[in-house]
Structure 1
Amino acid sequence: MGTILDQSLLDKWMTQITKKKNIFRAVMCIENQEQSLSLVSSGGEMEAEDRFFVASVTKLFVTTVLLNLRAEQRIDLGDPISKYLPQETIAGLHTMDNRDYTKEITVKQLMSNTSGIPDYFSQVVFADLAAGNDQAWDLDKILNAARQQKPPFKPGQRRKAQYSDTNYRLLGHIIENIKGESLQTVFKEYIFDRLNLKQTYFYQNPEDKSPVSFYYKQKRMELPLYMASIGAEGGIVSTAKELMIFLRSFFNGNLFPLSELEEIQKQWNFLWAPGPFFYGTGISRQPLSPFGLGRGLIGHWGQCGAFAFHHPESGLYFTGTVNQVLGQSSAATTMARVIRLYSREKKALRLQADTP
């Protein structure tokens, strides 16, 4: 389609983003369903091809692998996690009123953040990392931290959900136990190699300086030990273009049947933090206005400002990062701006085509 939404306009908007307070580098890739629109632009201290931490966008990759394992009949999402994790690993993770509910928690409840297992990534942990105290958080350490907190609700309680990175660290351990291989090896098999992603990988080597740094307010965050330890919680590195390849494949049935996509969106629970947004089964929904809570962007945010979203109504896809822990609103505002312009143009073209 002939469009006002072109490279020069996206370049202009990316420059505007990086002039906002505390946004020092950003990149955005935009495509439509037909791929007649395919743009990528960066701003500030960032090039379009730069690698960056996708953070919690990693959770979409975890969902992809789990759905593949289910298709192979190697896992059932309704199974208790005790089927795949040893008792000594999970004992006491969810204790309320002197009762341990951990054995009742299912794989699906981990994926949907309805397990009630506390999030180890508390304000205290965040403040410590933000202060520059870089340290690795292995599985034992995060589970011990989770055990020190009070669960917010019983597992699977109706309309109860709380975002918990602990859930996804457990899912990563489940995947490794089922496959008998490292997460990097498993993800290469099911996603990276299948999609021919050459710049996408799990960050495991603290000496790897290739991903660009992200920021918290004006502070440049250097956390190689932490980022190399978090795995399925948020350890993937990628580029805007390769993340787009993954995102399109996720929504177009190239990685798992489209019927699975419908299933993981059947039940949405509202989360206030780190949102506000809605969470399904291994996928999130970000409304773009208070008047469209049942619509919006489908995909996932990353804590450091990364994003991978599809907008079903317009058919647009968005990937990239603003590389700022508090920068999601800047990215969301730009995505909404693109959607409005693109939708107006499509409507104008339809009216033009219908006019004799």
Structure 2
Amino acid sequence: MTNIGAERFEKVFNKFTNLKEINEGILLIESTNGEFSFCKGYGGKGLNSPFLMASITKLFTTTCILILLEQGKLSLDDKISEHFDKNIIKGIHVYNGKDYSLELTISDLLFQTSGLPDVYLEGKDSVRSRAILEDFYITFIDMIDMVKNLKPHFAPRKGEKAYYADINFDLLGEIIGNISGFKLSEAYKNYIFEPLGLSHTYLPENENDGIPHIYYMNQVIHRPKLVISCGASGGCITTAHELMIFTKAFFGGKLFNKNIFNSLSTYNKLQVSMGPIYYGGGYMQIPLNGVISLFMGKGELIGHSGSTGSFAFYYPLKELFFVGDINQMAKAALPIRLSMQLAMAAK
């Protein structure tokens, strides 16, 4: 990788931070071997500035599931009814008059193939629409009740369908707690933060835990109650420096057996609103040779983005990692577009 490569990355990042709705941002790019590193901040954001990971948290939840799988404490084929009071989950998935609730498996949740609806975006009183206006707590039981009031999109494991829904990972978070005996914050700490030496990455448990602000267009909003409520699906805080350490470990097999990870690379296309994204076992896959890139890209990105502008992707073709945040809740597609253009600039 030459300096010309760094100049291309800087040009792409500058194009996005010049958008009127972007007030701050941070980008860190590294090669697998660490010989190449590029960092650029905007609006006062630096390598160690905290930001909300949002749905990148799902990679941490996936890590815990894989570690428990490796320890023999669960199977991806386990029915989730084995890990919950049946009265809690009964009625969570009723499709065409049939109740599939007790047939859902851990795999259905991890691969987003359960067909469950997404309370974050769906319904007239969706979590996102409320979050724009106010801060509020929402309990796990509240979320389950909201799901029961929405219609599933298909029967579990129906064809090659996937539907992105936070509730899948909220359920996985509860399962991690039930099996490990740890609170989710402790599970993250024991399985991820301490082994990797991450001292500035944490899952907040109260409003005083240091929860960064979020931008909705040019409005600064502070939603600590909601962030705390998101837990396993989107509540973690990190820095670009530590997110890079984690992302390299996740895709490099440092946290769990690489053979287990290889079994996750079955990808299904997500709903149309998710654009070019496919979903594997706990992470996104974005092919770079499709319509959205005008068929000009090569290879794929694997990793995750967050609805508040965060991103953590690996580009295997060039052995590059892209992590960072552009802190914008109003346009969830921006970090995906940024990551794709960074990959296409890596010539």
Alignment check: 8 A CA contact 1:55 1:236 kept? yes
Matched residue, 1:348: none
Matched, 1:128 2:127: no
Matched residue, 1:205: 206
Bigger CA radius of gyration: 1
Matched residue, 2:114: 115
Matched residue, 1:349: none
Identical-residue share of aligned pairs (%): 32
Alignment check: 8 A CA contact 1:120 1:143 kept? no
Q: CA deviation at 1:4?
A: 2.3
Matched residue, 2:261: 261
Aligned counterparts of 2:335 and 2:207: Cα–Cα separation in 1: 28
Q: CA deviation at 1:127?
A: 1.3
RMSD: 2.1
1:94–1:146 CA distance, 2 compared to 1 (3 A): same
TM-score (norm 1): 0.89
Alignment check: 8 A CA contact 1:50 1:212 kept? no
Aligned counterparts of 2:81 and 2:166: Cα–Cα separation in 1: 18
Alignment of 1:207-356 (within 5 A): 207-208=208-209, 210-288=210-288, 289-290=290-291, 291=295, 295-327=299-331, 329-343=333-347
SS of match in other structure, 2:262: helix
Alignment check: 8 A CA contact 2:214 2:329 kept? yes
Q: CA deviation at 1:214?
A: 1.8
SS of match in other structure, 1:89: helix
Q: CA deviation at 1:216?
A: 1.8
Q: CA deviation at 1:219?
A: 2.1
Greater CA drift, 54-63 or 40-49: 40-49
Q: What per-residue deviation string (whole Å, max 9, x for no partner) do you get for residues 294-353 of structure 1?
A: 94210001110100000011111011111012445544454444434432xxxxxxxxxx
Q: CA deviation at 1:19?
A: 2.1
Q: What per-residue deviation string (whole Å, max 9, x for no partner) do you get for residues 137-195 of structure 1?
A: 11010000000011111111112221111111000000000012100111111100000
SS of match in other structure, 1:31: strand
Q: What per-residue deviation string (whole Å, max 9, x for no partner) do you get for residues 175-227 of structure 1?
A: 0000121001111111000000000010222133x443221222222111100
1:129–1:304 CA distance, 2 compared to 1 (3 A): same
Amino acid at match of 1:314: K
Aligned counterparts of 1:294 and 1:80: Cα–Cα separation in 2: 38
Q: CA deviation at 1:293?
A: 9.1
SS of match in other structure, 2:259: helix
Q: What per-residue deviation string (whole Å, max 9, x for no partner) do you get for residues 31-79 of structure 1?
A: 0122111222210142331100000001111111111101110000011
TM-score (norm 2): 0.91
Matched, 1:88 2:124: no
Q: CA deviation at 1:268?
A: 2.8
Aligned counterparts of 2:143 and 2:317: Cα–Cα separation in 1: 39
SS of match in other structure, 2:114: coil
Amino acid at match of 1:29: L
1:31–1:283 CA distance, 2 compared to 1 (3 A): same
Aligned counterparts of 1:47 and 1:18: Cα–Cα separation in 2: 14
SS of match in other structure, 2:146: helix
Q: Which runs of 5+ in 1 are unaligned?
A: 344-356
Alignment check: 8 A CA contact 2:12 2:342 kept? no
1:142–1:197 CA distance, 2 compared to 1 (3 A): same
Alignment of 1:30-45 (within 5 A): 30-45=29-44
Amino acid at match of 2:218: Q
SS of match in other structure, 1:220: strand
Q: Which runs of 5+ in 2 are unaligned?
A: none
